[in-house]
A = this chain, B = another copy of it.
Amino acid sequence: MIEELTIKSDSKILLLVIDGVGGVPVNGKTELETANTPNMDKLVRQGITGVTDPISRGITPGSGPAHLSLFGYDPIKHQIGRGVLEALGAGVHLDTDDIAARGNFATIDANGRIIDRRAGRISTEMNKKICAHLQKNISQIEDVKIDITSSNEHRFVVVFRGKYLDDQLTETDPQEIGQKPIRCEALAPEAQKAARIVREFVKRAKKLLDLPANMLVLRGLKKIQRISKMQTRFKLNPVAIATYPMYCGLAKLVGMDILKTGMNIEDKIETLKNNWEKYDFFYVHIKKTDSFGEDGNFEKKVRKIEKIDEYIPKFLSLNPDVFVITGDHSTPASLRSHSWHPNPFLLYSKWVISDRATRFTERECMLGGLGRFKAVDAVPLMLANALKLKKFGA
C-alpha cells in the first residue's frame, strides 16, 4: 500500500540509530536515565516520543530483523540469513542462486568436540591467512564454486555458487561447547546436492586447518531474498553511514548507498555533511552503546550516550526536515544481551505535536504521545513528517 502513496520531494530525513540504547534500571535508573543528555532532552521537549517493538511484545530481536523493521520492512515476512548479511556487508556479490553462510573458526579437542566456538578469538590477520589458505586449496567442489571471505577475528563468510542449490539446510554450529559440529543435512530432497557440497567443504577444510583454529562451523546457510529497495518502496534516495559489516550489508540489501566513514561520531558527522546534498534519507549507525551493553558495562554505555548527546547540535545544524533518534533493540547492561524491551523513539519535525516527555529515556518515552508501536511503522511516520506521503483514498 505504502508504495502507492510515497512521493519524491526535497525534504531530508535523518535516522540516528543508537544501537542497543535502551536498558533496564540498575539501582533505580537505566543507562539513559543515568546519562546527562541535555541536547537530546531539549529535542524531546520540542519533538514527540514513543516506544517501538521491533517484532512484537516480548520478542527479543537480532540486529538483522531489528534494523529491517526500522527500515520499514516486516521482519517476519523478510527473514534474512546471517550469511547473506555478512556477505553483503563484506562487499561480496551474491546472485540469487548462491548460498551464503556465516562461518566461525573454532577449536576442537581430540574427540572432535568443540572447546572454543571462537578459536580464542584469533586475530583478524590470522583469519585472513587461514581464509587465503582455504581459498587456494578449495576453490571448487563438483561444479560449485567456493568463495571464502575473511571477516573480523574468528568470523568469515563462505559462498557456494552453483546451479540447483537449495538452501533448506541444517546449520553445522551446535552453538554450545562440548558438542561436536553438526553434520549438514538437507531438510528437503531438493537440497541434497547443497548439503553434500557443504559437507565436503567442511571435510576438506578440516584437513587444512590447524590449532588454534582447527575446525569451522557454519550458520545461516541461505540464499539472498528478493526485497524491494527503499528507492522503489519509499521513493527515497537512501544512504548508510555505518561501519560494521552487518549493518552495511542490511542497508545495501534495501538499496542504500554505503559511504566510507570512520569509527568515531566526528567521522560520521563529517561524512554526513559532505554528502548532505546527495541523498534524502540518511541512516547513521552508532554501534558502541550495544557493545558496552553486551559487555555488561553500564558506566561505559552511559558515557557513550553522553558523548553522542554532545554531537546532537551538529546533527541539528544540518537542518533535517525529520530527525529521529532511536535504538534498533534494547541491550541492557544488566542483561548483557539484546532484550525485548521496546526502544525509546524521538521524532522531531516542524509538524509534530509535542508531548509531555522531558527526557530521552525509556520511562519518559513509554508515556509519550506516539504511544507504543511497531518499529516497521517508523518509516511511514518519518515520510509523513517529511511530507513525502500522499493521501490514501479520495
Contacts and interface: CB of A to CB of B under 8 A. Distances in A.
Given A367-B369, A371-B372, A59 B353 contact: no
How many copies of this chain are found per oligomer?
2
B353 A362 contact: yes
Contacts of A60: 384, 389-392
Interface in A357-394: 362-363, 366-367, 369-373, 377, 379-385, 389-394
A367 B370 CA distance: 9
Contacts of A337: 391
B351 A335 contact: yes
A55 interface: yes
A285 interface: no
A367 B220 CA distance: 41
Interface stretch (A62-70, A256-264, A310-318): A62-70
Given A340-B389, A353-B25, A384 B59 contact: yes
Number of contact residues on A: which range applies?
Answer: 35 or more
Contacts of A381: 57-58, 340
A353 B372 CA distance: 15
A75 B356 CA distance: 32
Contacts of A393: 61-62, 64-66, 75, 79-80
Contacts of A384: 58-60, 339-340
A362 B391 CA distance: 21
A271 B132 CA distance: 65
A306 interface: no
Contact of A30 (B5, B220, B353): B353
A341 interface: yes
A56 B355 contact: no
Given A61-B391, A351-B339, A383-B58, A367 B377 contact: no
A11 to B, nearest CB: 14
A117 interface: no
A203 B53 CA distance: 55
A85 interface: yes
Given A24-B353, A341-B353, A377-B56, A392 B335 contact: no
A394 B85 contact: yes
A12 interface: no
A338 interface: yes
A100 B253 CA distance: 43
Nearest to A351: B24
Nearest to A80: B393
Contact of A55 (B64, B372, B392): B392
A115 interface: no
Contact of A58 (B62, B340, B353, B377): B377
A367 B363 contact: no
A8 to B, nearest CB: 14
B57 A391 contact: no
B373 A57 contact: yes
A65 B356 CA distance: 31
A188 interface: no
A57 B222 CA distance: 33
A116 to B, nearest CB: 20
B64 A394 contact: yes
Contacts of A79: 393
24 contacts: A1-B76, A30-B353, A56-B380, A58-B377, A58-B380, A58-B381, A58-B382, A58-B384, A60-B389, A60-B390, A62-B392, A62-B393, A64-B394, A75-B393, A79-B393, A80-B393, A82-B394, A219-B394, A339-B351, A340-B389, A355-B363, A363-B369, A366-B371, A371-B371
Given A80-B393, A363-B369, 10 more contacts: A5-B59, A24-B351, A56-B380, A58-B389, A61-B393, A62-B391, A62-B392, A340-B389, A366-B369, A372-B373
